[in-house]
Structure formats: C-alpha cells, structure tokens
Structure 1
C-alpha cells in the first residue's frame, strides 16, 4: 500500500517513549479545601445530564455525595456538608479517554548493564493534573508497562489525585516493540503472562502474523480478557479474517484506512459492516490524525498551542525539535494525510449509520496531542462529522464504562455510583464545546473548584517553564 512503511500506524510513529525527570521535582501540595473532603458534599439547584440510556435531564436537582458515592439526587444536605450552588450549571459524569499513553520512568538509551535502574523519572501527579483539570476521571492506558501498575496504584491508594486507570499490555510480532510473539504458542503464553501480571486487557499490534493474532484472541477469550488494538498488516487483502469473536475494539480509524487503497465510501461501509457483524467497537482517535496532518505541513500550530506548557519540558522539546512527522514530510505525504483525515470523517459516519458502538479516545502523548484537552478536541471533531452532542458525550461517559465492564460503578449519574462528576457553566447538549467550561470536578467524591484546578495547572506550567533549559531532547542521553 502507498506509504505503508512511512505511515504505518499512528501509535507506531508516536510513542515508544518512556523518559522522565532527572530528579523528582517537588510537587506543590494541594490546599486543605481539596485534600481533606467534608463528610459530605451537596450540589444544589443543578441541572443533571445523567447520560443514562433513556436520556433527558433532571432540572433543579440536589445531588448528595457521601464517602465518594452519590447517595441522593433529590435529597437534603446532611449536617456539616459542603454546600455548592449549582444554579445555572450542568452536571455530567466524569469523562473517559479510551486511548492514552502515559509516560513512565525509564532510560533515554539502551541499558549499560542488565540491572540498571531508570535514570529519568516522571512525577505521576504532574501527568494526571491536566486530565483532572479537564474533567477526565478515567483512562485506558494502551501501552501499559510495570511502571503503569505503580501509577494506577498510587491513584487508587489516594497518594495521587488522578483518574481511575485501566491497563492494556501490548503484544507485537516480528522484531517490533512490546512483548513479542511470533507463534501461536508464544501468543497464548504471553496472554497468560499479561493476566498473571495484573493487566486488564490485551492490546494487539501491527506486526503480528495472522495465526498468532488469532491465537491471542482465542486465549484471551479463555482467560476472560478483552482484546483491542491494531489490525495487523498481515491481514492486508484478507481483512475479514481479523474480525474474529473476541476482537473487541479497533483502536484507530487509521487501522481501517490502511486497508483502503483509494479511501472510497464503499470501503467505509464495508469496514463498518465487518465491525458491526463481529460486535467490534471502534475508537476513531480523529484528533490524532488531525494533529499529525498539521505537523506534517508545519509545526507552527503545535508550537502555538497554549496547552503545550502543561507537558513535561522533555516532551515539549521532543515534539518541537525531533518531530518525525515534520522531519519526514513531503508534498505527497501531506496530501496523503489530508485525504486520510477526510476519510476518517466518512468512516465515523459509516460506523454511526451501521450502529457500531463508538468510544472517545485521543491517543494522548502522540506529538501535539495534550492529554485532557485532547479528549475535548476529539468530542468536538465527532460532533463535526455528524454525531449529536449527546451522542458524542455518550462516547466519553456511558459507553466506555460499558466496554470496560464498570458501568455498574460509573459512567452515568445515578444513586449508588461513584462520584466522578464534572460541573459545567453551560449546557453541553446545546454545544459540545461547553464541556470545556468547567466550574469544578469531583474525583471519587473529592471536590476541586475552578480556583483549585487553576492553581494546580498554573503551578505545573510554572515548574515546567523553570526547568525547560534542563531538558533539551537533542542532548538528553548522549
């Protein structure tokens, strides 16, 4: 296929990156108002967008949160509760990004000896703060490693304020990156290893051969684990064979466009039928290819992005000085990516028309894709291709919870569910961009108002700016 070796897949071109701080930067401790929650928090006179399957809104509600759970939607404030005025505001469930890559501690070069420890360290709170500030209370990490388990556990223990994290470990083939399996027997054993090591899901990658891919999906079914990820290149010309029972989600629209020679509407409809017939969900990651197309043309938009300051300086340097999309640019590649962006729009329309479940993922940590903010961009792009604001919001709330198997605990606003909530200053059903107008966020019942969120973000940006000179990507590791 044209440009196959140049473009491959977005994740292949993007991540494989686990660097961090040369020393752990001290993190400003949050103030008492958001560190020690009241015995209960009550949001009064608020309009609830519960995002239940029946839809609708609940006007002039009183939401009571106790011990991290929603205990009433029309109750009375318990004695000693923190009372918040929700008049004129809208309450939605916390958002989920179903495709992120989280940086983790590591080496900037191959180890000099087998037991060498990491020399670069990321601060977990710094990674998570932009997500929380954007109302993202749940993540699916699609490049999970051992350090990712530690990040998840820091949050679960309460040491770090961050989203709940689900972990998918990668299995690849040939001489690619990740865990390598080139035979069905190796594939099955790798699945068993992933389960034993505590990961939640299995991610399949681009270099797997056909037989090993099928064996991985079969073994994951036996182990009660869902499989998601790429459509391996070995399925070119025989795409239908990839859609076997248990291949539960395709992680990029690009995985389909790689299988289309001319980006035709007929191909889009055929791909949608294959996914629907197999019960396979899709996370389009429209925002990623939009940024890649932009960077292939010029780095000006990315460099001017005001959200870039919230990324670690090393990542900022990598994106702006060692950007592989811009470095490999050519007029033909620019045209190819532009046509791919347009085809992805038609793909999402085809998925919707066919009834394929769509969830929002942004592939955060790809060059230019700033976590937290990127999920808002993704939802706006999906509305731009034909989803209603409510349908787009469902792709980041109720539907991810269903796919992840946590819909009994979160994803909608109902009594008994976890208090992961976002309070907005405007109606997101009228305009999806209103999800950016955040008045406050509840993370497992811990309330952060706008001032608290702004203070955390300002501190992060200030510390990043202060350490920029120490993190020149071109010099690190030499």
Structure 2
C-alpha cells in the first residue's frame, strides 16, 4: 500500500509539472502576440475619422473616384463625397494616394496569431481558413469580440474525408449518420463553413450536402475523387478549390485544351460556380525543385516553426527526391503550372467567378506575401488589373452571405481598406506594401505593419503549435 501511495504521488507530481509546463508554454506564446491586443485607450481604439484628399478605387465598377473624402464612423463607411464637414473628428490626409478595399485570401491555413499580423502587413484584411481546429474558434471569438487586431476571420470546421485513412489531419467519416452529426456539431460550435475533402464517397457526400442544406451552412469543396467532378456543382457548395484538381481528376493529367474546354463548359453551366485556383501553392513545388536551398531562405522565417520543420521539409524532400529519380519531373511540373494559367484564362472567358486563394500556411507558401504572387499569376493568365483585383475583393465577398459587408468601398460597408501610393488598376505591385491598412475601421500605419512582420519572422513557438495540434487530435478524433 505504501508503494502504491508513493507511485500515485509521483504520478500526480509529474502530471502537475506537465500541466504547469503546458500552461507556461501557452502563456509565453500569448505574451508574444500581445502586440495584437486592442488598446482601449490607444490609437487602435479609434474607429471614426475622415480621410481627405484620397482617390477611391471602389471595385463595384472599373473606375477611380478622384479627390474624395471618406467618412468612417464606428468602423463603417458612412459617407463618400467631395466635401464632408464634421466638427471634432480626426482628419487623415491621404495626400492624393489611393484607397481600395482590403484584400481577401479565400484559402489559407492559419497556425498562430503571428500570422494574423502578417496578413495585415500585406493588405489582407479578411481570411477564410480552410482547416478548422479548436484554436480557430478561440481566435475567431477574440476577433469578433474586438479583443485583438486581425483580419476579419472566417473558418471551416475540420476537413471531412471518407472511410479511407489519408492522414491524421482529416476527419474520417464512416457512415451518413456520422456525417450529418458532424455538420450539425460544427455549425453549433461556431465554425462558419464545412470543408469537404478528398476521399468522400457518394453516400457520405450526399449526407453532408443534405445536412448542410438543413443546417444552412455553406460548403467549401476540395474535390473528391470518389464522385464525378460535376458533383461539386451544387447550390450548397459555394466554391471549388485548386486548379490542379481539374488536371488530376477529370483530365487524369492529360493536358489537353479540348478536353479541358468540356470541363470548363460544365462548370460555367452552373450559374453560381466559384473557383479558387490556388496557383501559387502548386508553383511552389517548382520553386522547391529549382532552389535546393529554399528552406534556408530568409523568407521562410515567416512560416510557423513547426510547419517549417515538418511540412516544409517533407514537401521539399519529396520533390527533391522526385527530381533525382526522374529529371523529367521538373519539366512536367513546369508544364502543369502553365496549364493552370490556361485553366484560369478559360474559366474567366467562360464567365466563371474566380476568387483568390493561395493555400498559404503549408509547404513554402507564405502567409500574407503569397497573395501578391497569386494575383500576378491571374494577370499573367490574361485578366485585366481590375479583373484581377476583383478576385480578392468583390468576387470573394459575394461568395458567402456573411462576407457581403466586405469587398468594396461603398457607403454602409465595413471599413476594411488599404491605402497605397499608386493606382492598382494601373500597377498591381503597389498593393505589396500599403501605406496603411484599416481593419474594422482601425488604422494601422506602415511602421506598425512592418513591426508585425518582424515579430512573425522571429517567433519561436514550435512547442505551442504542437500542443495546439495535439489538442485538435484529442478533441476532433
């Protein structure tokens, strides 16, 4: 009995030490992102002012409204006019710069709060996170309760797959009843959308679609290879992800433009179709194959430390080895990337609404920075600057009803805005380094935005990230 008591004491002691260690790790990580907390008495508390001498790029039409005044009241665009006079309100002189809607990245994977600052520093004022975990619900709550400065934050629940195990990062559904139960649960817990993924068969997919309709929750679809590609053209599915899935699934890697056109016509026949190409993440495969030292590049400091150590490294080694085993792989990847540009061009020509997504947060696809690369690819595919900018503003905002307050500079819209030096309708590169960003009406100057980048680039939160992922495995599995 004495031995048993002694063993129990040791177990409780170890459990206490472990618990304390975990709390210290989380406390340190929370302390590290304290710069994102909203100071109720500081600059970030201000949400009302008038912006003068500003050229407005409204994005509800292809034009510039020259030399306007914009009145922002309590974080909402109250009025846009030639003259606005309100006593006692702060005036911000834009000095003839250009005011555009903040950018929206519709396909990201957020790993920590440092990344929220990275998105803002690149002019991204709203994100749609497509790999939901419990930590994202806490993040979303803090954003919605105005506790932290962040892009407007939307998230799916965990990725839903079928019976076949394809990785612990997915939620395997074994039967239709379970599928319906998960949809109901995710809606009740506060996830904004459902994410369907590779591996869903028709029986389970139908259950997800039916329950999502009943529960009135939108679906974002990574195409499943177990149903026809056209199966994803469904009213409950608000966007389809990845140009590469068109190549891999219906085309079976046959880069034939005639066969592609049949698929494009099928997508275009569905009037509400929206497609997020995520060209950047696939192109980064090519970048890894031509740059043997990419993991040591300074820019990779902006990746979450755990992701860099595991996912970035694994992806690099996979494609480095593939190139060594078959040198023609490099040319194949290059040709497929070029074909993705053709897909974007043909989707656009067919009238399919394109929404900008990057798949940032995995591999070597950097949070925030990658959106400018994605937009440049759309321009390369033949879209005009206005059409390119629409993909990350008005097109994105019209994908889900809960996002309709974003995407344009109009009276009554949320003041998620960026101020840039040049007219982006003439030069998209001006979006890379905004003079200032407004999120929920809160003004962040360039100095603050640069500080956000520096904080993210020097973070050391590998253990905290690992513990949050472990929490996800325990709760969601």
Matched, 1:163 2:151: yes
Going from structure 1 to structure 2, the CA distance change for 1:367 and 1:83 (only over 3 Å counts) comes to same
| Comparing 205-214 and 37-46, the one that deviates more | 37-46
Decide which of 54, 71, 86 is 1:46's aligned counterpart. 54
* Counterpart residue number, 2:446: 450
Matched, 1:152 2:159: no
CA distance in 2, matches of 1:86, 1:418: 19
Report how far residue 426 of structure 1 moved. Answer: 0.8
Check the 8 A contact 2:355/2:396 in 1, yes or no: yes
| Structure 1, unaligned runs of 5 or more | 1-19, 104-121
* Counterpart residue number, 1:358: 354
Matched, 1:87 2:95: yes
CA distance in 2, matches of 1:470, 1:183: 35
- Where is the helix percentage greater, Structure 1 or Structure 2? 2
* Counterpart residue number, 1:56: 63
* Counterpart residue number, 1:187: 179
CA distance in 1, matches of 2:342, 2:265: 14
Is the partner of 2:199 in helix, strand or coil?
coil
Decide which of 285, 296, 305 is 1:292's aligned counterpart. 285
* Counterpart residue number, 1:269: 261
| Comparing 320-329 and 145-154, the one that deviates more | 320-329
CA distance in 2, matches of 1:39, 1:161: 12
Decide which of 187, 201, 212 is 2:193's aligned counterpart. 201
Indicate the RMSD between aligned Cα atoms, in angstroms: 2.8
Is the partner of 1:59 in helix, strand or coil?
strand
Report how far residue 327 of structure 1 moved. Answer: 4.9
Going from structure 1 to structure 2, the CA distance change for 1:155 and 1:38 (only over 3 Å counts) comes to closer
* Counterpart residue number, 1:228: 220
Is the partner of 1:73 in helix, strand or coil?
strand
CA distance in 2, matches of 1:449, 1:232: 43
| Comparing 176-185 and 313-322, the one that deviates more | 313-322
Is the partner of 2:332 in helix, strand or coil?
helix
Going from structure 1 to structure 2, the CA distance change for 1:35 and 1:157 (only over 3 Å counts) comes to farther
Deviations 1:318-377 (A, max 9, x none): 466443443542324333322221111111111011111100000011211111111111
CA distance in 1, matches of 2:47, 2:117: 24
CA distance in 2, matches of 1:21, 1:443: 29
* Counterpart residue number, 1:385: 381
* Counterpart residue number, 2:165: 175
* Counterpart residue number, 1:102: 110
Is the partner of 2:69 in helix, strand or coil?
strand
Structure showing greater radius of gyration is 2
CA distance in 1, matches of 2:25, 2:352: 41
* Counterpart residue number, 1:254: 244
What TM-score do you get using the length of structure 2 for normalisation? 0.83
* Counterpart residue number, 2:78: 71
* Counterpart residue number, 1:111: none
| Comparing 172-181 and 276-285, the one that deviates more | 172-181
Check the 8 A contact 1:77/1:83 in 2, yes or no: no
Report how far residue 44 of structure 1 moved. Answer: 0.8
Check the 8 A contact 2:303/2:361 in 1, yes or no: no
* Counterpart residue number, 1:427: 423
Report how far residue 276 of structure 1 moved. Answer: 1.7
Matched, 1:141 2:129: yes
| Structure 2, unaligned runs of 5 or more | 1-23, 471-477
Report how far residue 441 of structure 1 moved. Answer: 0.5
| Comparing 37-46 and 377-386, the one that deviates more | 37-46
Report how far residue 280 of structure 1 moved. Answer: 2.3
Report how far residue 420 of structure 1 moved. Answer: 0.6
Check the 8 A contact 2:303/2:364 in 1, yes or no: no
Check the 8 A contact 1:95/1:136 in 2, yes or no: yes
Deviations 1:288-329 (A, max 9, x none): 11112221343434643x533333333333466443443542
Is the partner of 1:211 in helix, strand or coil?
helix
| Comparing 314-323 and 129-138, the one that deviates more | 314-323
CA distance in 2, matches of 1:183, 1:444: 42
1:300-319 alignment, distance < 5 Å: 300-301=293-294, 303-304=296-297, 306-318=298-310
| Comparing 239-248 and 395-404, the one that deviates more | 239-248
Is the partner of 2:411 in helix, strand or coil?
coil
Report how far residue 394 of structure 1 moved. Answer: 0.7
Going from structure 1 to structure 2, the CA distance change for 1:319 and 1:145 (only over 3 Å counts) comes to closer
Is the partner of 1:233 in helix, strand or coil?
coil
Is the partner of 1:438 in helix, strand or coil?
coil
Decide which of 378, 395, 411 is 1:415's aligned counterpart. 411
Report how far residue 221 of structure 1 moved. Answer: 1.9
